[in-house]
Amino acid sequence: MARFIYARTAANDAICLNIEKIIDISISADDTLLIEFEKSDGGAGSIALDCVASATDAQEKSLLLEVTNAIAGSNVKVITLKDDVTGEGFANILTVGTIAH
Kindly report, residue by residue over 26-63, the tens digit of the pLDDT: 888 777 888 889 988 888 888 888 776 556 777 777 88
Q: If you average pLDDT over every residue of the chain, what do you get? A: 86
Total domains in the chain come to: 1
Percent of the chain having pLDDT more than 90? 31
Element (H, E) at 79: strand 78-83
Note down the domain range covering 77. 4-100
DSSP per-residue codes, 10-29? TT--EEEEEGGGEEEEEE-T
